[in-house]
Structure 1
Amino acid sequence: MSAPHILNHPVIDDYMAKLRYKECSPEDFRRFVRQIAMLMVPYATSNLPTRSCSVDTPLETASTRVLDEPLILCPILRAGLGLLDGFLTLLPQASVAHIGLARNEETLTPEPYYFNCPSRLSEAEVIVLDPMLATGGSASEAISELKKHGAKKLRFVCIVAAPEGLDTLQSNHPDVPVLAANLDRGLNEHGYILPGLGDAGDRIFGTEA
C-alpha cells in the first residue's frame, strides 16, 4: 500500500481559500475547481508509462518519448464532472468514462445506477475523479465497479480528503494510488468533511438550498 500523495501546493492553497469561502458563487466555484484540476494534472500523471520514439524537427531527427497506453478519465457523477474539464484541457487525447452512484437508503451504501466506459478499459490508465473523499464509500464502489469491468491500472484524484476516507479507500483498494490537494481534519456526524467546502456537487451546479 502506497502512502497518499497530499500536494499542499502554494498556488492550489490560494485557490482553496477562495473555494472554501461560503459566499463563493457557482460560477467562481467551477472556475477554481477547474484551475485546481489543471494544476493537479502533472502530479496525477507523473509516472504514466512512456515509450521512446523519433520525430523530425525542422533541423534533425530527435529521440523523444510519448505515452505508451490509452488514458481514460472517469468522473464520479455528478461532482466529478467539475474536475473533468481541467483534466481534459491538458489531456485532450483522453477518453472519458462515467459512473453514477446513488445511496441505498436501506443499507446506506453507494450503488451504481449508471456506467458507461470506452473500450480498451483493461489496457488503459484510468484516473478516477471526485472533488471530495469523505467516507470513501463512493470512491471504493466506483473503483470496484471499474475493476469488475476489467480496469487494472487505476489512480484516484480528489481536491479534499478526510483521513477516514483515505483509510477506507486504501483498505479496500491498496493497489490504487491516491492524490489529494488537501487533507482536512475529519468528518462530522453527517459524513461531511471538516472544515471542507460543503457539498461540492451542489456548489458546482448551483443547486444548494
Structure 2
Amino acid sequence: MENLTIIEHPVLQHKLTLLRNKQTKSCEFRRLLNEISGLLAYESTRDLELQAADIETPLEKMQGREVKEPPIIVSIMRAGNGMLDGLLTMLPFAGAGHIGIYRDRFIQNTVEYYFRLPKTSAGKQVLLADPLLATGDTAIACIDRLKQYGVSQITMLCVLVSEQGINKLYHFHPDVRVIALSKERDLNADGHLLPGVGDAGDRLYKTKDA
C-alpha cells in the first residue's frame, strides 16, 4: 500500500506505548495524543510548497521561505478533537474544520450531525485527524464529504489503523494518504482495535469509568 506510511520513530513508539497502557490517566492520555499529533503534523507536511519571503533579520535583509498554501486541518469528532491542538500548535497558519459523523449500528450506516469547514477550503490540502481507523466506515463518509466540498489532496493522520479499515478505505479512496504509528493485529466483535488503546474518546474526556 504505497499511500500508507507507518512511522517507526523511537520517540513516537515510546509515546504510543504509554498511550496504550490502561494505567495512563485521562490527563496524560490527552497530553500524549497532543504531542504525537504535533509530530504527525511534521511528518505529513513534507511536501508543502514554499514561496519566497523578503524579511530583515537583526543584522541584514534576506529572502526566506514560507508556506505558500496552508493546509486545512479537519477533526473527525469527537476523538479527532484530541489531536487538533497539537496539529494547530505545529501549524498555526492552518485553518481548522470539524466533521461529526458516527456509525449507527441499528441502521447499519453512517450519520452526519455536524459539518463545518473554513470558507477557503476548496482546492486546499486537508489533514484529516482521527486517532483510530477501525472499520473505516466513518473515515470513508468524511472523505466523501470533503471531496464533495472540492478539497485537493487528503492526508489522514491516525495513531492506529486496522488492516480491514485500510483495505476498505483504499477500495473507495486509493488516492488518500494515511500516516499512522501502527497497523493493529485485529478488530474485536465490537469493532475495537486489538491490542489498541481502548475507546480514544472515552479516554480523552473521561466519559466512561475505567
In 1, Cα distance between the equivalents of 2:45 and 2:79? 21
In the alignment, structure 1 segments of 5+ residues that lack a partner are none
In 1, Cα distance between the equivalents of 2:29 and 2:113? 27
Whether the 8 Å CA contact 2:3–2:175 is kept in 1: the answer is no
In 1, Cα distance between the equivalents of 2:116 and 2:89? 21
Identity of aligned residues (%): 38
Task: Give the TM-score, by structure 2 length.
Answer: 0.93
In 2, Cα distance between the equivalents of 1:131 and 1:173? 19
Tell me the CA shift for residue 13 of structure 1: 1.0
Whether the 8 Å CA contact 1:40–1:181 is kept in 2: the answer is no
Which portions of structure 1, spanning 4 or more consecutive aligned residues, are displaced by more than 4 angstroms? Answer: none
Residues 177-196 of structure 1: pairs in structure 2 closer than 5 A:
177-196=177-196
Equivalent residue for 1:168?
A: 168
Aligned length: 209
Equivalent residue for 1:203?
A: 203
Equivalent residue for 2:13?
A: 13
Equivalent residue for 2:32?
A: 32
Tell me the CA shift for residue 106 of structure 1: 4.0
In the alignment, structure 2 segments of 5+ residues that lack a partner are none
Q: Does 1:122 align with 2:111?
A: no
Equivalent residue for 1:4?
A: 4
More moved, 78-87 vs 187-196 = 187-196
Tell me the CA shift for residue 163 of structure 1: 1.0
Tell me the CA shift for residue 125 of structure 1: 1.5
Residues 8-87 of structure 1: pairs in structure 2 closer than 5 A:
8-87=8-87
**What are the superposed Cα offsets for residues 137-184 of structure 1, whole Å, 9 maximum, x if unpaired?**
111111111111221221110011111111111221111111001221
In 1, Cα distance between the equivalents of 2:15 and 2:81? 18
In 1, Cα distance between the equivalents of 2:12 and 2:122? 32
